[in-house]
Chains A and B, each alone.
Chain A
């Protein structure tokens, strides 16, 4: 059972119900009654982003926020819980209430690679991920006035001067880093990866010419517009926003992927709650207005719901762990 909002009439009734529900909820909370588990949303939901504000996870959540309120009549409150590159949030997820009022953003490859490296307080399988709703495809970004006009230029430079082509990226053992390692292998080059704290800092470094290129995402190209040029994107087909930017595949490098983002519930949540949330996010994800906003931001859509999650994650786990092992990031 999930709420579905189709006409303003139903919306208004639901608003009234919501107000009554809120009052009851407050009184109930004040006397600390445990709520009976049911697959329904009661009051505002808490959407925790395990990073600081401003990143892709935050932006995509902010884009979902108004659609959620619109369709299901409840507030979606975005809060931040940074620390450990996401580890603090994910380690605390299963300690939270599983009644369906609290959800948390999850990121690939983080939730796969981090537990494999060290004891970070959670295991990949612990997280009840119920939907993957987008990914940001890897892309090599250079400034608009860079001497590299095409990917071939960069490759040539890297081959002629091994180690001297510096590329900024967000974090280590992250999507950017894995992409750089993978590409170096495919192209037979040796570039130097310079890790920064977050995509924003990596972009600043690029724009300030601290490095000659950046391993970023299509979202960077969308945000910076004419100030940058993307040399290639790691997608099957060209991104609708950038019809002139070739894919790695076209240029002969078998690379697709990026950072995937989804949402998880505490694993104490019931199967009904999980299905309910999966359907709600699916509904937002299939809304053409939402899709347009995401694509305009440079995101790429993806739809993996709770039913298909197990296979999706298994495939990703295998893929990422293999890449990471080859890169020497994990044993």
Chain B
């Protein structure tokens, strides 16, 4: 952890790479359908001619920017630019609708920078011990974690509990369509080839979140977002003050994000959800969450940015990628001849530490860059006449969905889901539970089947599912999260429908 590595990270070239990466990543992340994974995949060959540390810094900076960039579309268009920004729509879009969009964007920036720093510092100081967390999480823990994530549906569906749960179950059914991972069966395709690939998360996200918004935008002459006539730049200090007031939320969410990022296969979306759930459960004003509560954005954006640093922990220490972008980074490293694994920190220490410092620098650079881009993004979305905004976003959804798997059928599926999502939203069925079910379904299923297989083989089913300490802790959190909204729904029984 020598300081010399910090200096080598501070070379003008590396700083330029970090800045470029953060900016490019932010732009990429803000376009729904374009993911960090795609961007990294394309840019890997450029890194072959660079030295490993600089290459890593570039890739890490893009990744950092992309996770942050997803918030723009989430806040301003109710469409997560990347899956990690799903939970940001919960409070981001309501805030934008009531004219606080620029505040939301600035908040997202501060939170992302803070969360990213926490993740990067964890990577710097605590990587080897924290990597053990990644290993301690077995199939059963993943199963309970996904149940915990799904319990968020209950707490989200203020008053519409049954409909929310139905949506979640529906999402989970959607996730089973196609070739099963844990067995060789093909499910719910009804003999058609089109559905063999199943419902991709990104396509479903775009369909279920963005299309309904567009359908309603064309239908009415009102402006898309309310615009406050006066105050513009003062909002940055306002955002800062709000963030400082929620210090505990910030810190807790960043830690949660780092820990979830360490778990391979979990990723930014799960981190945002878990952090949001906790913030809502412990927040002063539960009801305000989901209607434009700044604490919601603070929680989700700091958590999902913390997964960047957190995800690199198992990637570098164990050679096991925490998230798909990490897998690409691993590939790039391998080509350069850098061996990952426990020896990496000692053998290739200079590369690793230079990279981590570079990541920290990139995260810091995201503050000015992000605020600037955020302001620009907000201004343009708000001032572009709706007549141009709608077709542009519509066009973006088509090209973005196509780019996921180079398939037109994906776009058609996305549109069908979109119309369906709009329809059911009219009658009380929200989109988020469905997307949650879609994301968490596979994690739940695989965890359950694997846990069951192992438990049955070792004649230890009960102990397997209920006897492990981490699982017990997660179950406890789940129960706490569930009891609150059921209690609230019970209190409100006479007035709201279930």
- Chain A residues at the B interface, C-beta cutoff of 8 Å: 52-55, 58-59, 62-63, 65-66, 69, 75-85, 87-88, 91-92, 113-114, 117-121, 163-164, 166, 171-173, 192-197, 200-201, 203-205, 207-211, 223-227, 293, 296-297, 329
Contact = CB atoms under 8 A, between A and B. Distances in A.
Contacts of A210: 138-139, 450, 454
B181 A195 contact: yes
5 contacts: A114-B184, A120-B193, A197-B182, A208-B136, A223-B340
Interface of B: 37, 41-42, 44-45, 48, 134-139, 178-179, 181-186, 191, 193, 196-198, 200, 264-265, 314, 318-321, 324, 326-328, 330-332, 334-335, 337, 339-343, 405-407, 442, 446, 449-450, 453-454, 457-459
Contact of B178 (A84, A192, A197, A205): A84
B407 A92 contact: yes
A69 B45 contact: yes
Q: Which of A88, A194, A195, A223 has the most CB of B within 10 A?
A: A88
A83 B178 contact: yes
Given A84-B197, A172-B182, A205-B139, A164 B457 contact: yes
B182 A195 contact: yes
Contact of A208 (B137, B185, B197, B341): B137
A285 B446 CA distance: 37
A298 to B, nearest CB: 11
Given A63-B335, A201-B264, A204-B314, 5 more contacts: A79-B42, A117-B184, A118-B185, A173-B184, A192-B454
Nearest to A62: B331
A204 B318 contact: yes
A303 B321 CA distance: 30
Q: Which of A224, A226, A296 has the most CB of B within 10 A?
A: A224
A37 to B, nearest CB: 22
Contacts of B331: 53-54, 58-59, 62
A83 B180 CA distance: 10
B397 to A, nearest CB: 20
B337 to A, nearest CB: 8
A119 B332 contact: no
B453 A224 contact: no
B320 A119 contact: no
Contact of B45 (A75, A113, A117, A196): A75
Given A62-B334, A83-B198, A118-B186, A223 B341 contact: yes
A66 B50 CA distance: 13
B50 to A, nearest CB: 12
A69 B45 CA distance: 10
Given A53-B324, A207-B135, A226 B342 contact: yes
Contact of A211 (B45, B196, B318, B454): B454
A77 B183 CA distance: 32
A83 B200 contact: yes
Contacts of B138: 205, 208, 210
Contacts of A197: 181-182, 265, 442, 446
B177 to A, nearest CB: 10
B37 A53 contact: yes
B321 A54 contact: yes
A203 B320 contact: yes
Contacts of A163: 457
Contacts of B185: 118
A176 B443 CA distance: 21
Nearest to B331: A62
Contacts of A53: 37, 41, 321, 324, 327-328, 331
B341 A194 contact: no
Contacts of B324: 52-54
A192 B453 contact: yes
A85 B179 contact: yes
Contacts, number: 177
A166 B454 CA distance: 7
Q: Which of B45, B328, B442 has the most CB of A within 10 A?
A: B45
Contacts of A85: 179, 181
Given A59-B331, A62-B334, A83-B196, A194 B453 contact: yes
A121 to B, nearest CB: 4
Contacts of A172: 182-184
B169 to A, nearest CB: 22
Given A121-B196, A207-B318, A211-B454, A88 B41 contact: no
A249 B460 CA distance: 35
Q: Which of B136, B179, B318 has the most CB of A within 10 A?
A: B179
B196 A200 contact: no
A65 B334 contact: no
Nearest to B195: A84
Nearest to A91: B193
Q: Which of A52, A79, A84, A192 has the most CB of B within 10 A?
A: A84
A224 B183 contact: no
A62 B186 contact: no
Nearest to A171: B181
A55 B320 CA distance: 10
B458 A166 contact: yes
Q: Which of A63, A204, A227 has the most CB of B within 10 A?
A: A204
Contacts of A59: 331, 334
A79 B196 CA distance: 19
Q: Which of A192, A200, A224 has the most CB of B within 10 A?
A: A200
A25 B73 CA distance: 34
Contacts of A200: 264, 320-321, 327
Contacts of B458: 164, 166
Contact of B342 (A75, A77, A192, A227): A227
A72 to B, nearest CB: 14
Contacts of B326: 54
B345 to A, nearest CB: 13
Nearest to B455: A166
Contacts of B41: 53, 78-80
A66 B265 CA distance: 29
Given A208-B136, A211-B454, A119 B341 contact: no
Contacts of A203: 320
A80 B48 contact: no
Given A54-B330, A195-B181, A83 B48 contact: no
A205 B314 CA distance: 13
Contacts of A78: 41, 44
Contact of A204 (B135, B330, B332): B135
A194 B450 CA distance: 6
Nearest to B330: A54
A52 B324 CA distance: 7
A11 to B, nearest CB: 14
A85 B196 CA distance: 10
Contacts of B179: 83-85, 87, 120
Contacts of A87: 179, 196-197
Contacts of A120: 179, 186, 193, 196
Contacts of A92: 406-407
B47 to A, nearest CB: 10
A201 B446 CA distance: 11
Nearest to B265: A201
B413 to A, nearest CB: 12
A38 B83 CA distance: 42
Contacts of A54: 321, 324, 326-328, 330-331
